[in-house]
């Protein structure tokens, strides 16, 4: 049971018929929104198109969450598809929504081996270094004072703990990470600066490598201020062992920690047993964060199955979010917010 047992459970009925699962939810007023049951930020990744075009999506987002993460709109390929030519419209729309509705923003992401513009591939090492510095400085300066936290570098390790052989690692060497954090701090001293990765939720080769990097960089005075744990989980595998202890060991380094992209995918079609297991996983992740003082944020990678990335990436899996495609709360929601 969630640590938030003092709150009332929604009157949600789970109906299973002809292999389909539906949720009949009580009105939103039957329980407090997620953002109101904890002193930590509760966020969701957001596509600008849904925010602009779907009133029900916008209403649910505004009610339930106090932080938003642009899902793709701040990635390098989206912002600067051609060198020196920026397209700010979608990212601006999300930031403007946040400011108008009292939300904070998690910036995602500045340096990543994926979704970067193809023109980077043609640069020399010296030119690439200049491009990275200019990109970080330009983007962070535009949003200075408007972004609570930034994922400065994203997914820098392989599963065995070795450095990912990205274009940045190849051409700039291992020091590109420290440089990126220093440039980011210069651009917006008020934003919290994070390293972010997946499959680091338990103690193992990958999380140990991230832990050692954070420790080493901080000892060198590099302004790494947070560690992000994406927490993309699947009910086909066990819940990460030692989850809370792993968050705590990073916090003990003197950094904030955050759940940055949580979802829990199930094998389709979903049924009541699979969704109950999904609820267990969400609840354990939520409670693990709640138990660590420096776990400051619990963000999901989308809140509705309507826009989940999972089916397009993991064939045969889906139903990974807290709300279904019709924006009804699922058992995972009511487990977190009983």
- Give the CA angle between residues 239, 240, 243 to the nearest 5°: 120
User: d(Cα 325, Cα 304) in Å, to the nearest integer?
Assistant: 6
* Burial classification of residue 105, based on how many CB atoms lie within 10 Å of its CB (0-12 exposed, 13-18 middle, 19 or more buried): buried
Residue of 83, 58, 57, 87 whose CA lies nearest to 72: 87
- Residue 302 half-sphere exposure toward CB, CA atoms < 13 A: 25
In DSSP terms, which residues pair with 108 in a beta bridge? 151
Phi, psi (deg, nearest 5) at residue 242: 65, 30
User: d(Cα 161, Cα 140) in Å, to the nearest integer?
Assistant: 29
Residue of 31, 54, 38, 193 whose CA lies nearest to 111: 193
User: d(Cα 17, Cα 227) in Å, to the nearest integer?
Assistant: 43
- Residues marked active site are found at 155, 261
């Amino acid at each position: 049971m969630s640590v938030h047992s003092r709150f009332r459970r929604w009157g949600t009925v789970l109906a299973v018929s002809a292999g389909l699962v539906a949720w009949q939810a009580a009105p939103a007023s039957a329980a407090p929104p997620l953002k109101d049951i904890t002193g930590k930020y509760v966020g969701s990744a957001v596509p600008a198109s849904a925010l602009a075009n779907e009133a029900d999506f916008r209403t649910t987002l505004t009610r339930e969450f106090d932080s938003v993460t642009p899902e793709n709109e701040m990635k390098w390929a989206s912002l600067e598809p051609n060198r020196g030519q920026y397209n700010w419209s979608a990212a601006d729309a999300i930031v403007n929504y946040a400011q108008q509705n009292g939300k904070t923003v998690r910036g995602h992401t500045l340096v990543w081996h994926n979704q970067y513009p193809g023109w980077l591939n043609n640069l020399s090492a010296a030119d690439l270094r200049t491009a990275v510095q200019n990109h970080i400085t330009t983007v962070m300066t535009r949003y200075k004072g408007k972004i609570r936290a930034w994922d400065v570098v994203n997914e820098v390790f392989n599963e065995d703990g070795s450095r990912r052989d990205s274009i940045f690692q190849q051409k700039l060497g291992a020091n590109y990470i420290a440089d990126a954090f220093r440039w980011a701090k210069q651009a917006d001293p008020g934003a919290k600066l994070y390293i972010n990765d997946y499959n680091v939720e338990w103690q193992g080769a990958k999380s140990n490598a991230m832990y050692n990097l954070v420790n080493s960089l901080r000892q060198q005075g590099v302004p790494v201020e947070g560690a992000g744990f994406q927490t993309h989980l699947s009910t086909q595998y066990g819940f990460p062992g030692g989850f809370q202890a792993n968050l705590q060991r990073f916090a003990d380094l003197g950094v904030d920690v955050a759940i940055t992209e949580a979802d829990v995918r199930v094998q389709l079609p979903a049924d009541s047993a699979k969704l109950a297991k999904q609820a267990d996983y969400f609840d354990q992740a939520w409670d693990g964060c709640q138990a660590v003082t420096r776990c400051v944020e619990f963000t999901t990678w989308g809140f509705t199955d309507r826009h989940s990335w999972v089916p397009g990436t993991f064939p045969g899996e889906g139903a990974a979010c807290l709300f279904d495609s019709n924006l009804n709360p699922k058992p995972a929601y009511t487990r977190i917010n009983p």
